[in-house]
Amino acid sequence: MHDAAGSSWAAWMCGVVLSAAAVVYVIGVVAAFRRGRWWPVERVACWTAGLVAAAAA
């Protein structure tokens, strides 16, 4: 029973880290747009796909 509790804690922490990474990335995209820079859509799509793959692993 102790393993199940640790497993859910690890999954929760992984979710927090991935969510924080997504938030920081979005902040970076918004900052680039505010400076008048273009942020490639392909980069956003690939980075999002990477987060999804990491979350699924």
Q: Domain boundaries in the chain?
A: 2-56
Mean pLDDT (the chain, rounded):
84
Handedness of CA 20, 26, 31, 37 (dihedral sign): positive
- Note the pTM of the prediction, 2 decimals: 0.69
Per-residue pLDDT reduced to its tens digit, 1-28? 455 555 688 888 888 888 899 999 999 8
> Cα(51)–Cα(21) distance, rounded to whole angstroms?
9
